[in-house]
Amino acid sequence: MSASPRPDIASILARSRAIPVLVIEHLEDAVPLAKALCQGGLPVLEVTLRTDVAEDSIAAISEGVPEAIVGAGTILTVSDITAAERAGSRFLVSPGAGPALLEAIAECRTPFLPGIATPSEAMTLLERGIEHMKFFPAEAAGGVSMLRSIGGPLPGLRFCPTGGITPANASDYLALENVLCVGGSWMAPAKLVRAKRWNDIAALAREAAAL
C-alpha cells in the first residue's frame, strides 16, 4: 500500500489533445525536438524506451526544456520503471500490462498510463482502481467503433488511443466521450527528425494542437 496519494495521470493527459510518441535515435536531437513540439503547443511528450539514448534524452529534456512534461513510453518491465524514474520521467506509459507490471504499477509513485486492447484487459485495470488507459494499438484493435462500444458497459473509463492515429482520423477519436487525448508519432516523423527540420515539426505540432 502506498504512503501518499498517487500523482494524477488525468491532469497530465488534460494538458494536451495530442501526445507525440517519440523514438529518439540521437541524444543531440532530444532538446531541439522537444522545444519544437512545445513551441507548436504540445507540451506533453512520450519518449519511448526503444533506443540506447532514450533515458539520457528524457534527462536532457527535463533539464533543458522546462516547459515540457516528459514521460517514458514502452515500459515493459519493472526495471524499465526504475530506469525511467531515474531519468526524471514525469509519467510512464506501457503498451499493455502483465501480472508483474500490474503489481509494480500499484506501488509506482509516478503517474502511469497502462495500455489495453480489450474489455477484459480494461476490467483487469479497473479492478485495481485504474480508470485512465492507453488504447493500443488503436486502429488495429478496432479503432473508434471499438472505443465507442467499450464505453457502453464501461462508461467511467477514459482513454488515450495510440497506434495508427493520423491527422485524418484523430478528430474522430477526440469526438468520443471516453477519449481525453490521442497519441502518435506523426508530429515527429523520423525523416524530419533526421533532417533536423525543427520548424516543420513545430508546424505539425501546431496542427495537432489545434485538433
Give the interface with ligand 3PG as residue ranges (CB under 6 A).
21, 136, 162-165, 184-186
Pick between residue 72 and residue 105 the one whose CB is nearest to ligand 3PG: 72
Residues marked as catalytic? 46, 134
Min separation Cβ 1 and ligand 3PG, Å: 31
Pick between residue 21 and residue 87 the one whose CB is nearest to ligand 3PG: 21
Pick between residue 21 and residue 60 the one whose CB is nearest to ligand 3PG: 21
- Read off the C-alpha cell for 73: 513510453
Min separation Cβ 58 and ligand 3PG, Å: 16
Min separation Cβ 4 and ligand 3PG, Å: 30
Task: Give the residue closest to ligand 3PG by C-beta.
Answer: 184
Min separation Cβ 115 and ligand 3PG, Å: 9
The one-letter amino acid at 77: T
Inter-axis angle of helices 54-64 and 27-39, nearest 10: 50
Pick between residue 106 and residue 167 the one whose CB is nearest to ligand 3PG: 167
125 — alpha (psi -120 to 50), left (phi > 0) or beta? alpha
